[in-house]
Amino acid sequence: MKKLSDCRVLLVDDAKANLDILVEGLKPDHKLSLALNGEMALQIAARTPPDLELLDINDARADRCH
């Protein structure tokens, strides 16, 4: 089992302010990757697979795909 400090979390939100808040809270204990949209998140996840993803489910860009 990985140590918490070795886990990578992918944070996805179209609002930079929300990402800033999450980074402030999670950075001390996790490796973080950040994305401003779903397309960017997929590219990042392909390069550096996360252990956990935290997504903004109200992303306006994603809504257009449904």
Domain ranges of the chain: 4-63
For 27, 32, 33, 59, 61, the CA distances from 65, given in Å and listed in that order, are: 31, 26, 23, 11, 7
Q: Which residue has the tokens 């950040």?
A: 34
The CATH number corresponding to 4-63 among 3.30.70.260, 2.40.10.10, 2.60.40.420, 3.40.50.2300 equals 3.40.50.2300
**Residue pointed to by tokens 């860009």:** 61
CA pair distance 66, 4, nearest whole angstrom: 35
CA 28 to chain centre: 16
46 three-class SS: helix
pLDDT tens track for 6-60: 999 999 999 999 999 999 999 999 999 999 999 999 999 999 999 999 998 775 6
Q: Could you tell me the pTM of the whole model?
A: 0.83
